[in-house]
Structure 1
Amino acid sequence: MRPEVAQRLSINAELAQDLLKGFIRDEVNKAGFERVVFGLSGGIDSALVAYLAVHALGKDRVHAVLMPYETSSPASLSDAREVVDQLDIPATVVSITNPVDAYFQNVDNVLGVGASSLRRGNRMARERMSTLFDFSAYLGALVMGTSNKTELLLGYGTQFGDMASALNPIGDLYKCQVRQLSRELGVPDSILNKPPSADLWADQTDEKELGFTYDDADEVLYYLMDLRYSQFEVLELGFPEALVQAVMKRVMQSQYKRKPPIIAKLSPRTVSIDFRYLRDWGN
């Protein structure tokens, strides 16, 4: 990452931590909940959410759910358990292998064709979020998301899967900022130093699938989104054209994932168009 961009994206970790702890406390209370539940994958994003939640609410009000699939890396489960042990938080392990495999066994027979890696990965992500919302009902806990700003802008997530949650404390942190804050909060080195992966199939890594590194994406996105540079202006800075086009294409094609369902307008007051109030209206 270019030094000038790295400096601009460097955050005041103490201030960011205080703001995010306050955000978690306020939003959980506004929603009328006492605790939170989230998926702990063994990756850096969910680990950071775990540390922030414990600092904000206390360990007894935070519940982690570990949801491995049979092809998940054993190291992922081990890293997730290390976070659980360090924070001393309640946690439950729920394998998603049987429900995912049962679905595809049935649907593959109906369609007469095996599922692609994309379909299986999406099903796994949605199975995990479905599990979290079931735990939400069981525990009376608000579901927290773990998608960072880079992933959200690139659309690198599953709609109604890992991108679905009631509360997301790290959605305005670029991946490089997630790393910085994670180091400050004491996330284990085994998590800080491993390649980012959704762990949906063997040897899968985010950057291999994206075709560029998170650092490269963070730089381009910072100019395009935060500074509102045009693509031409970003290219003038010396970034490769293929990189800028690939990043921008992902941002544009994934806009639907960042929006609520679009409702056709027929009446004088339509939900999300005319019928719009502050999030905490009525509280």
Structure 2
Amino acid sequence: MTSSYLPPTELLTDEKNLEATHQQLTLFIEEYVERSGTSGVVVGMSGGVDSTLTAALAVDALGPDRVFGLLLPCNKTAEVGSHDALTVAEALGIDYEEVHLQPLIRCFERLLVGDEGRDERIRALGNTTARLRMACLYYAANTRSKLVLGTGNRSERLLGYFTKYGDGGCDLLPLANLYKTEVRALARHMGLPCRIVEKPSTAGLWAEQTDEGELGATYDCIDAVLHYVVDRRYRAETVAEELDIPIETVWGVLNKHLETHHKRRLPATPGRESVE
């Protein structure tokens, strides 16, 4: 197979559309925060492209004085990201704090020992870490009369690649409609550091973890598959042929989308459909 997995042309590619998106997202943040009556936003900053772009959009929308960055490393991999996050926070001129979560994680390891295997234990601790980060973000937001600004993108949401009530928990999510490849394109358009835009994405939940390593495909490939199937309603076989990739790769992406449907819904309730 020789395809470079380039996303279809409908995705963000040209400067005019990127600038329009930049303006749209800053206006979204500004208007939402103004309507909320809060003093600004709190952003969890990891040093990755998603959180860096989100923080930069927030500064463009609200000014640096109304944006607070919270750095929440949990291991040595995340500590490297925190160094980048600190550099970004200082460049943006925002206030920030760093809180290391390792002491809290050790408490869970000591007190809540189960019978699960190593892989299940690592994943359970990863989810716990994501929820601890969420708790810290909301504590910081509540004590400062701010909103929690989420950093997730459309690729992650469609794949269910987030933790329920962890990084999936926020008050507003400006990148929700942007695929990962579009996030990188917008970050380049806004002049964010190449080191951050191009480095491998990771949640930083355990050593050597990367998004693409867990997902089993590159974001270029994932985004193209999701766009063709979810946005354009193509059949899997057509997508494989159109992109010149194995059908197994297409179904690998689609199965993640289908199996994580519950993550994109409100909690199940009995009886009445509407919320009272």
For normalisation by structure 2, the TM-score amounts to 0.92
Instruction: Indicate yes or no: 2:43 matched with 1:38.
Output: yes
Corresponding position of 2:192:
187
For the residue of structure 1 that corresponds to 2:70, the secondary structure is strand
Q: CA deviation at 1:216?
A: 0.4
What does 1:108-123 align with in structure 2 at a 5 Å threshold? 108=113, 116-123=121-128
Q: CA deviation at 1:25?
A: 1.1
Corresponding position of 2:9:
7
Corresponding position of 1:102:
107
Point out where structure 2 has 5 or more consecutive residues left out of the alignment. Answer: none
Alpha-carbon RMSD across the aligned residues, in angstroms, is 1.7
Amino acid in structure 2 at the alignment position of 1:136: A
Corresponding position of 2:83:
78
Check whether the contact 2:130–2:166 (CA below 8 A) recurs between aligned residues.
Answer: yes
Corresponding position of 2:234:
229
Q: CA deviation at 1:6?
A: 4.7
Check whether the contact 1:79–1:190 (CA below 8 A) recurs between aligned residues.
Answer: no
Amino acid in structure 2 at the alignment position of 1:264: P
Residues of 2 paired with 1:106 and 1:194: CA distance?
A: 36
Residues of 2 paired with 1:174 and 1:18: CA distance?
A: 17
Check whether the contact 1:48–1:182 (CA below 8 A) recurs between aligned residues.
Answer: yes
Check whether the contact 1:45–1:178 (CA below 8 A) recurs between aligned residues.
Answer: yes
Q: Structure 1 residues 264 and 86, CA, compared in 2 at 3 Å: closer, same or farther? A: same
Per chain length, whose mean CA-contact separation is higher, i.e. which structure has more relative contact order (CA < 8 Å, sep 6+)? 2
Q: CA deviation at 1:235?
A: 3.0
Point out where structure 1 has 5 or more consecutive residues left out of the alignment. Answer: 277-283
Instruction: Indicate yes or no: 2:258 matched with 1:252.
Output: yes
Check whether the contact 1:71–1:200 (CA below 8 A) recurs between aligned residues.
Answer: no
Check whether the contact 1:145–1:162 (CA below 8 A) recurs between aligned residues.
Answer: yes
2:268 pairs with one of 256, 259, 262? 262
Q: Deviations over 1:109-160 (max 9, x none)?
A: x659766210111111110011101111111110011111001101111111
For normalisation by structure 1, the TM-score amounts to 0.90
The farther-off stretch of 230-239 and 154-163 is 230-239
Residues of 2 paired with 1:23 and 1:174: CA distance?
A: 18
Check whether the contact 2:39–2:144 (CA below 8 A) recurs between aligned residues.
Answer: no
For the residue of structure 1 that corresponds to 2:221, the secondary structure is helix
Q: How many percent identity over aligned positions?
A: 37
Check whether the contact 1:223–1:234 (CA below 8 A) recurs between aligned residues.
Answer: yes
Q: CA deviation at 1:88?
A: 0.7
